[in-house]
Amino acid sequence: MSNDILNLSLTEIADAIRARRISALEATQACLEQAQRVQPLINCFITIEADDALKAARAADRAVRRGARLGPLHGVPLAHKDMYYRKGRVSTAGSKILRDYRPEVTATVVERMHAAGAIWLGNLNMAEFAGNPTGHNEYFGNCRNPWNPLHISGGSSSGSGAAVAARACYGALGSDTGGSVRHPAAANGVVGLKPTYGRVSRFGILPRSWSLDVVGALTRTVRDCARLMRVISGADAMDTTCSGEPVPDYERGLTGRIKGLKIGVPANYYYDGATADIRRCMQQSLDVLKSLGARVIKVAVPDLHRMFHLSNVISQAEAAAIHARWLRERPQDYSIWGARIVPGLFLPAVSYLEAQNARPRLTREFVEQVFTKVDVLHAPVFAMPVPTIAETMPGASGDVVAIHARLSRNNRPANFLGIPALSIPAGFASNGLPAAFQLMGRPFSEALLLRVGDAYQRVTGWHQRAPDLSRPVQ
């Protein structure tokens, strides 16, 4: 019975709980048992809050029985990257410095999920201070990929991708500064949405880079993502950068119809260095979209090498500003990964200001040159198969810096531009690890990206595959 429950999607379990076919307690117990089962193998949690989760599940079931008004996530067990504040509860950010930190506020998105009826299972592993694309963590242990624990789970929202793929929760929140939702979504074979900058409140969330960070959802299906994003999106008086743009009903917009839609394939940049197996997966996904009536059009994109560089300038400078005091007072408490913030202390202010001043113009040029020709842009998340933990460790043989850059290069531009990007599973590379494409659109086009992604998933089954965690590691 527990396996049947675990294989339901977020929307399916929510609807089953509402209809009293499954209790919130049964769903929560199944997730907790799975979390305990997979944790020794993939290390996706930092903390599991079993007692509190079971108490909340029993309360959720009582609400169903008495006919209370139920939210869209009522009784659904979720877990989140360990950087979402809950007043008085430890939030480590995957770091030694904040190992015992208890914030005095609760994040707006946490309050919204609670109001929608979600159950909090625990805090998920992450890269230290949300700072690397692989999921390495010196203090809490590396998060591992459930498809093969020798491989990275992607970062920095590593536990979010791994836990959702391993069926230890029905969905999770991550954050994306330069790909940190899309990296783990792609690496673990789940869906991940990096929304438009300002679409979701960031109040009560540990920052990495104020002008690049966004909150994003990782789920098993696009429909699940649509429901979760509907709950957390929208204006927030506590976050002045949060947009007042109306939030559509993302789930209702999943019509399955994309006939006549123009799908852009970049003629430059995104396929640089792409391996044959990734190209195969991308072409197969495009063939599916064409079979649904979409038009596939090759389109040249502006110079993204410059945007990649400018994005690095901004993220390094802002991270250094956030961490300046700790870097002075507690430098020994940063790992080699956390210490990558240090170069930002020496960036000239003029370089930072030039990068920020260039953003509006470069965003306008990108939107005009791309999204006046096509409706969405389709590209690989990674142009290479998911690498191993060993080959992405500092000091490993080979060019580790180049591997990290290859993991990030297709993802940083969307953060610099502030546009939405949706990662969707698209098969498997030659090493047996998942491959994924991303759909990008003009600002606040999340509904369109979700509609295209959902149409693709209606006729494909990649998102329904689950890793076999009983297999011995190869």
Q: State the number of CA atoms in the 13 A half-sphere of 119 facing the CB.
A: 35
Instruction: Confirm whether pTM is higher than 0.95.
Output: yes
pLDDT digit string, tens, across residues 136-179: 999 999 999 999 999 999 999 999 999 999 999 999 999 999 99
Give pLDDT, residue 398: 79
Active site residues: 81, 156, 180
Tell me: the pLDDT tens digits for 27-70? 999 999 999 999 999 999 999 999 999 999 999 999 999 999 99
Helices (H), 166-267: 182-188, 222-232
Residue 470's pLDDT band, with cuts at 50, 70 and 90, is: confident
* Gap between the Cα atoms of 299 and 441, Å rounded: 14
pLDDT of 442 higher than 80: yes
- pLDDT value at 1 more than 70: no
CB burial of 126-151 (b: ≥16 within 10 Å; e: otherwise) equals bbbbbbbbbbbbebbebbbbbbbbeb
* pLDDT for 328 beyond 80: yes
Alpha-carbon Rg for the chain, nearest whole angstrom, is: 21
Confidence (pLDDT) at 473: 52
Average pLDDT, the chain: 97
pLDDT band with cut points at 50, 70 and 90 for residue 471: low
Determine the Cα–Cα distance for residues 100 and 406; give it in Å rounded to an integer: 34
Q: Name residue 151's beta-bridge partners.
A: 388
CA distance linking residue 274 with residue 110, whole number of Å: 38
Answer whether residue 7 shows pLDDT above 80.
yes
Asked whether the predicted pLDDT for residue 240 surpasses 90, the reply is yes
DSSP-derived pairing of the beta strands 148-152 and 45-48: unpaired
Prior bond of 311 cis (ω within 30°): no
Residues paired with 79 in a beta bridge: 172
Residues 6+ positions from 50 with CB-CB distance below 8 Å: 32
CB–CB of 150/108 below 8 Å? no
Please give the Cα distance from 157 to 345 (Å, whole number).
Answer: 25
Both tokens of 329, joined, read: 């007072």
Query: Across residues 463-472, what is the average pLDDT?
Result: 87
